Amino acid sequence: MISKYAATAFGNCVCIADPSFVAMYLRQRVSPDGPSFKNARKSEGLPLRKAYTPETAAADVEKTLHVLGGRWKLIILFHLFGGKQQRYSELERLIPGISPKMLAQQLRQLEGDGLVARKLYPQVPPKVEYRLTDWGQALCPALDAVLQWAEQKPEAGAPCEEAGS
């Protein structure tokens, strides 16, 4: 239900997120002396984040990268960001070079992982539309942050700064 969500622009993509989360996120970014992330989540009625050790963080990042891994999954996701619904044939046209078998396989995996929802219309010929789930749409700010991080890569041959200096 898009009506209960706010569309917010994060860099290169439009994200649809719960308005209370967007408000909390913006307060945290705007107010450096604001409440801690943990207390803000508690006051907004959101679940607390999991506590990570270096080992558990690495394991969970590895699982996440497995979900997003593959040559085509991120391209498919970017074509669905912003609440777009695409038919299978439209995705085939939008992603040159992907075979029908590979597109079907990647969409099945994204659906199985809970990132993409598939809607089948009972008609002849069959009509199938794909869209991101709320959880899939929540990837938008994270992928935008990855893009911003990549833009900061120093030029080849430029001196590198050490972390923490």
For 41-53, how does the pLDDT look when each residue is reduced to its tens digit (9 = 90+)? Answer: 556 666 677 888 8
Residues of the chain below pLDDT 50: 1-37
Dihedral angle at the C-alpha atoms of 60, 25, 114, 76, nearest 10 degrees? -100
> Residue 53: inside a domain, yes or no?
no
Q: What is the pLDDT of residue 44?
A: 62
pTM comes to 0.65
Q: What is the CATH number of the domain that holds 78?
A: 1.10.10.10
> Residue 160: inside a domain, yes or no?
no
pLDDT tens digits for range 85-118: 999 999 999 999 999 999 999 999 999 999 999 9
> Residue 89: inside a domain, yes or no?
yes
Give the domain range for residue 131: 2-47+67-146
Residue 132 neighbours by CB under 8 Å, 6+ apart: 77, 80, 81, 83, 115, 116, 117
> Residue 61: inside a domain, yes or no?
no
> Coil, strand, or helix at residue 54?
helix
Q: What is the pLDDT of residue 96?
A: 94
Q: What is the pLDDT of residue 51?
A: 85
- Residue-by-residue DSSP string for 89-158: HHHHHHSTT--HHHHHHHHHHHHHTTSEEEEEE-SSS-EEEEEE-HHHHTHHHHHHHHHHHHHTPPPTTP
Q: How far is CA 104 from each of CA 56, 85, 120, rounded to the nearest angstrom? A: 32, 16, 14
Q: What is the pLDDT of residue 139?
A: 92
The total domain count for the chain is 1
Q: What is the pLDDT of residue 10?
A: 40
> Residue 88: inside a domain, yes or no?
yes
Q: What is the pLDDT of residue 110?
A: 96
> Residue 76: inside a domain, yes or no?
yes
Q: What is the pLDDT of residue 25?
A: 45
> Residue 164: inside a domain, yes or no?
no
Q: What is the pLDDT of residue 19?
A: 45
